[in-house]
Amino acid sequence: MITARPALRIPPLIGLLGMLFLVLTVELNDQVLNTSLWDVAGALGLSHDEAVWLPSLYLVAEIVGMATAPTMAAIFTLRRFALSVAALATLPTLLMATGPGVSALFFLRAVQGLACGWAIPLLMMTALRVLPPPIRLYGLAVYACSATIAPNLATSLAALWTDGLQDWHFIFLGVIPFVTIAAVLIWFGLDQDPPRYSMLHQFDWPGVIFVLMGFGSLVVALEQANRLDWLNSPTICLLFLCSAIGIPALVLRELHAPQPLFRLDLLKRRNFAYALIALVLVLIIALGSGPVPISFLTQIHGYRPAQAHVLTLFVAATQLLLLPLTAFILDFERVDARWISACGMGLILIALMCGTNIGPEWMRGNFMMLQALYSIGLAFIVVPLLMMATNEVKQPEAMYASGMINMPRAVAGGLGTGVLDAVERWRGALHHLRLVDTLGHARYRAVQAQPVGAYSPALFPDGAPREPHALQALNETIEAQATTLVTLDTFCVLAGLVVLLLLILALYPVRSYPPRIQLTRKT
C-alpha cells in the first residue's frame, strides 16, 4: 500500500524565510560592527583596550546561546522563542546607538551575542522541521547562507554606513527594519506548539557553566592573547587553564546529565563527527577570502571599507547562485558528496597557492580570481558537509544535533583570530627583524649612498636626507614588505589546513546519499 506524502504547506516556508532574515540580520549586526569597530570606538570615546573587548564578549555570549538554544526552543516552543530572540536582538541595538557608558556597552554587546547565538541554531531546527526530504538539500543551502553570505556582506554595509552615509548610528539602527520583517514572517508562518515547561526542572545549568568556563575562556584567551603577549601574560595563562579544566568537565557532565545540552554519542557516527571537525577548519580557512586580503589592502594601500568591499561582496553575491547550484548537483544519486567537497578544497588550495605570489604592488583587482575560486570552493564544501551531518540525525535528535553543529561556528571565530594573530606576531617580527638587519649590513649600498640606476637611497653618503621624510618613506617600505611576507605566510598556513582537511575527508567520512534517498531508506 502506497501512502500519499503530506502536502507541502506554504506558511512554514514563510516562517523559514523569516528565520533566515533573523539570522542574517543578527550576524550582520555583529560583522558590521567588527568591520567598523574603530569608527564606532572613536565616536563613543572608547580606548583601544576597551574596544577590543566588544568582539570577545559577543563571541562568549554567542557560544553560550548556541549551546542552549535547542533546549530553550523545546521548552518555550520554537515560535515564541524565535520572537523573543528577535526582540532581544533589537533592544540592545537601539540602546547602543544612544552611546551609553562603557559598562553598559559591554553588557549590551553580550546580550547581542546571546541573541545571535540563540538565533542561528533555530534556523537549522526550522529547516529540518518544515522541509521534507525531497527538498531538504535546498533548505541546507538556505542555512549555509548564514555561514557564507553574512560575513562577506558585512564589509559592504560597513562601507555604506561609515563611508557612504557617514553616520555610525546606522551600524546599529540599520538592522531594525530587517528584524521587524523577520518577526512578522515568523509570527505568521511558524506553528505554535505546546510549551514543555517541565523541562526547566532538569535544565543543564552545570553544563552551561562548563561551556562558559571551557569554550568561553578559550575564545577570550585567543582573542586577547596577541594584545596581552600570549603566555607571558598571567591572564592568558589562567584563561587557558580554565579552558583545559572546563572542556573535559563539560564532556563528563554531558555524558551523565539527565537532560544534556549535547548528545555526545552522535560523535560515534563518522559523518557527523567529520562535519563538526570540517566546519571548524572551513570557517578558519574562509578567513583567506575576507579578513586576510582586506587587512593587506588596508595596511599597504590604506583602503577603507568603501574601496575594499567589492572583494567580499563578490563572494556574497556569487553564493546566492552557487549554494542552490551545489544542492542541485548533490541531489543526483550518482554524485558522491565527498568528491564535491574534494573539488571545493582543491579550488581553495589553488587560490591560496596563487596568493603566495603576492607583492606590495597588489591591488583589489589582483585578488578577484582568488575570490572566485574561494567562492566556488566554499559552496562545494559547506553544503556537502551539512548534508552528511544531517543525514545521520533522526528527528528526535535534531534538537541536540543543531547545538552541536552550530557551537563550533562560534568557537572557530576565536580559533581563526588566534591563528591570524599568531602568524602576524611571530612571522611578522621575524620578517621585520631580517629586513632591518639586511639593510644594516648593506647600509652604505642601500641606505646611505649615491644613486644606482633608478634606485635612490634615502640618505646622501654624508648622512643627510636625500629629500624630506626620506627615512619615514624607507620605514614604510620595510613595513610594506613585512606585511606582504606575513600575508604570504598566512596563505601558506591556511593551505596547510586545507591539506589537513583533505586528509580527513579521504580517511573518515563514508558515502552519503541525498536526503530524499537516504532518509527514505532509513524509514
Integer Cα distance of 58 and 107 in angstroms? 9
Look at residue 330 in the predicted model and tell me its pLDDT.
92
Rounded Cα distance, 484 and 341, in Å: 30
Instruction: Work out the pLDDT band at 1, boundaries 50, 70, 90.
Output: very low
For residue 289, pLDDT over 80 is answered with no
CA-angle at 265, arms to 261 and 266, nearest 5°: 85
Split at pLDDT 50, 70, 90, the class of 43 is confident
Do residues 14 and 185 touch, judged by C-beta distance below 8 A?
yes
CA distance 386 to 299: 36
pLDDT digits (tens, 9 = 90+) for 4-38: 455 567 888 899 999 998 998 888 888 888 888 88
Does pLDDT of 515 surpass 70? yes
Helix (H) or strand (E) holding 357: none
Is the domain defined by 263-440+459-523 classed in CATH 1.10.10.10? no
Q: State the amino acid at position 272 in one-letter form.
A: F
* Domain boundary assignment for the chain: 10-131+167-203, 206-258, 263-440+459-523
Dist CA 424 CA 468 (whole Å) = 31
Angle, alpha carbons 398-112-259 (nearest 5°): 30
pLDDT tens digits along 331-377: 998 999 999 999 999 999 999 999 999 998 999 889 999 999 999 99
C-alpha cell at 213: 568556563
- The 8-class DSSP code of residue 397 comes to G
**What grid cell was written down for 37?**
569597530
Give me the DSSP letters along 176-236. Answer: HHHHHHHHHHHHHHS--PPP-GGGGGG--HHHHHHHIIIIIHHHHHHHHTTTTTGGGSHHH
Tell the residue number behind the cell numbers 570540517, with chain if given.
278
In whole angstroms, what is the distance from residue 215 CA to residue 197 CA? 28
What is the spatial distance between Cα 273 and Cα 425, in angstroms, rounded to a whole number? 32
